[in-house]
A = this chain, B = another copy of it.
Amino acid sequence: MTQTVSVALMDALTGGLEIHDLGRPLTVGMPQSPNHPAYWHALPRRHGDMVRADGGSAANDIITMGTHVGTHIDALSHVSQDGKLFGGLDAADALEGGRYLQLGAHTIEPMVRRGVLLDVPAMRGVQRLEAGEEITVADLEATLARQGTEIRPGDVVLVRSGWGQHFDSGDGDTFRGLTTGVPGVGEAGASWLAAQGIHATGADTIAYERLQPGAGHGLLPAHRVLLVESGIYIIETMDLEGIAAAGVHEFLFILSPLKLVGATGSPVRPLAVVGQ
């Protein structure tokens, strides 16, 4: 181990970095799943409410929210199948004192890894995929081929559908797609990604999954394949429009979840970093 940062990292810093923000702003009323506590924020104290004798004043906040609202990562404790979490762990055994002390959000190691964007709409030549459309293995392979990108073990793979445009436009009902559906990676695509040995995968949709019209946010086959069977983290409600527009397909992916002890997920603000 070295006491000084590596030459390569310092060179990168010196050369200048381009940082793409993949996290969405958290605002009251933003589109989110009705299954999770809504994001709320208020200022209990504003400047001027309590001014000290020296003229100083501090303002502060209260936040209430679920951990699966806004841009967030799912911990492996989030989804179970037949009572089992990843690794065959009994979901009841993962609990201690009312928290998932095993496989909880606090066990997600911060990620500083190679990241890859799969820009599916760009491959298809469309602005965005259609509601309820499945992203197939053929789609994933064609996107890689078009981009000349390869997936390596340990990568974080971000799959863009273009659906985040509905978040940007404030069309929460379409973004959620509870009745109209959402495009996403199907069970086969999830299995294919898992076979590449990736570490995590993300999407610009609310649930990563392909949600068929009228099906709500119920069946979650990709969650089962990724979280339960493969131990691969899922990141949702990402903003992938910016890196797509910039044509960035490979990057240093950074994600540092809050160490929420015993939780099933964490809000995050992931970054894609490239050198200039």
A251 to B9, CA, bound (A): 9
Known: A43-B42, A44-B28, A110-B271. A5 touches B62 (CB 8 A): no
Known: A12-B8, A220-B56. A112 touches B271 (CB 8 A): yes
- Please tell me if A121 contacts chain B, counting CB pairs below 8 Å: no
Q: Which residues of B contact A36 (CB under 8 A)?
A: 60
Known: A40-B37, A254-B256. A6 touches B1 (CB 8 A): no
A1 to B48, CA, bound (A): 45
Of A25, A35, A112, chain B has the most CB atoms within 10 Å of the CB of A112
- Chain A residues 251 to 274 lying within 8 A of chain B, measured CB to CB, are 251-252, 254-265, 267-271, 273-274
A65 to B34, CA, bound (A): 15
Within 8 Å by CB of A92, from B45, B48, B254, lies B48
Within 8 Å by CB of A66, from B9, B63, B262, B270, lies B63
Q: Are A63 and B254 in contact (CB under 8 A)?
A: no
- Please tell me if A249 contacts chain B, counting CB pairs below 8 Å: yes
- Chain A residues 77 to 103 lying within 8 A of chain B, measured CB to CB, are 77-83, 85, 91-92, 95, 97-100
- Please tell me if A17 contacts chain B, counting CB pairs below 8 Å: yes
Q: Which residues of B contact A52 (CB under 8 A)?
A: 218-219
- Please tell me if A58 contacts chain B, counting CB pairs below 8 Å: yes
- Please tell me if A170 contacts chain B, counting CB pairs below 8 Å: no
Contact with B along A37-60 (1 / 0, CB 8 A): 110111111111110101111111
Q: Are A60 and B68 in contact (CB under 8 A)?
A: yes
Known: A13-B113, A42-B43, A219-B52. A80 touches B98 (CB 8 A): no
Known: A26-B261, A114-B13. A3 touches B63 (CB 8 A): no
- Please tell me if A169 contacts chain B, counting CB pairs below 8 Å: no
Q: Are A275 and B59 in contact (CB under 8 A)?
A: no
Taking CB as reference atom, which chain B residue is nearest A27? B261
Q: Are B56 and A60 in contact (CB under 8 A)?
A: no
A68 to B59, CA, bound (A): 10
Q: Which residues of B contact A250 (CB under 8 A)?
A: 3-5
Known: A56-B220, A92-B47, A110-B271. A263 touches B63 (CB 8 A): yes
Of the A-B pairs whose beta carbons lie under 8 Å apart in the complex, a sample of 22, sorted by A's number, is A2-B275, A6-B274, A8-B11, A9-B12, A19-B109, A29-B34, A36-B60, A37-B40, A37-B62, A37-B63, A38-B38, A40-B62, A42-B43, A46-B95, A47-B85, A49-B95, A55-B82, A56-B223, A56-B224, A61-B260, A112-B273, A256-B271
Give 6 closest A-B pairs by Cβ, nearest first: A6-B275, A47-B91, A42-B44, A42-B42, A8-B12, A8-B11
